[in-house]
Structure 1
């Protein structure tokens, strides 16, 4: 069953960031994105780091989980949870469930349908190139200085005849490195002084 406009996914993480259990609309959201390999049964007992390797993301998740376990205080951060047919503004709330587990609750705050975005469609044909997509705001880094909304990035790729589309990989744009860093206790100093202006990208536009 495909996800509705408003979705809520829930998962529990151990102290070493291993996925303990999953609930809510997880499977429906995975199906909506044709990410069948990310079904609940497939990801339980795996580490978060098996799904992204971007250093800032790893540091951020470690910091959030450590803070929640040590203080018992929840952490809340906004993010975009888009799919090809939906633009979603979402909220991630991390709570200490017990001594051994944190609960991650991802809930939709607003949802807007849109024309199908093939750049986000995992079934679309891909080239051997790749571009970074920000895990928080879902903008795509099209060169060393510009991050665009996914529809704009798709338009530029097509105008530059960069089709088949490149693969998209997890990254964090410079603006989100600062904004998210300042929302997380203990992360503020790093976010201001360790912002990277380019998280990858191997597509040359206009070639």
Structure 2
């Protein structure tokens, strides 16, 4: 899918030290609508490390590998992902493009959006228990085990979260399928090694 087929939902750039250097003019309207909290408004995030906004050790490690690879080859990568709210399911593509100065441009494109019944687990206003539930940072499926990840509605039913007084806290990780997909995309975006002859 070419990014020119869609309008960018929002854009941002990190510098060569991984600090947020700029965001698109529509950033605040999207972030306010998506997060319902105002924690990520542009005035408060410019100059901060992007790592402050990437949850989970696995996800951080994946992005470090991606950043290093595309900077080394001055290349780009496309990662499909989900960005859901309590009432909306969104499918997007994230395009990362490295510049010669080491900065990286991020373009997020909305591919599909659909309403759904409210998912309290994704509502940040709910009180949280001391229990934790792991959600894939890319596809938003929930881990029932290390090898079994399901859509949030199925996880809520399986874990009996409809009847809980407090929602568990969300931690982020990567399901095996999304990790493999991201690494395959990264490998395909890197130029082949040069073959030298003597």
TM tier relative to shorter chain: 0.7 to 0.9
Matched position secondary structure for 1:37: coil
Residue in structure 2 matched with residue 38 of structure 1 by the alignment: 40
- 1: CA distance, partners of 2:146 / 2:75: 37
1:94-153 C-alpha deviation (Å, 9 max, x unpaired): 113451421100111111111221111111221111111101000011344431211222
- Give the drift of 1:80: 0.8
Alpha-carbon distance change, 104 to 128 in structure 1, aligned in 2, over 3 angstroms: same
- Given the alignment of the two structures, is residue 66 of structure 1 paired with residue 68 of structure 2, yes or no? yes
Unaligned runs of 5+ in 1: 1-5, 189-207
* Matched-pair contact (CA < 8 Å) for 1:133–1:168: yes
Residue correspondences, number: 183
The answer as to 2:184 corresponding to 1:182 is yes
TM-score, with structure 1 as normaliser: 0.78
Change (3 A) 1:104 1:166: same
Aligned to 2:168: 166
Structure 2 unaligned regions, length at least 5: 1-6, 191-198
1:156 to 155, 158, 165: 158
**Aligned-partner Cα distance in 2 for 1:79–1:68:** 19
- The alignment partner of 1:178 has SS state of helix
Give TM-score, length-normalised by structure 2: 0.81
CA-CA distance at 1:179 after TM superposition: 1.6
Q: C-alpha separation between the residues in 2 aligned to 1:171 and 1:121?
A: 19
RMSD: 2.5
Shift of 1:35: 2.9
Distance 1:181 1:13, change over 3 A: same
Cα deviation code 1:28-80 (max 9, x no counterpart): 23222213111112222111222335333222212222233232221111111
Partner of 1:103: 105
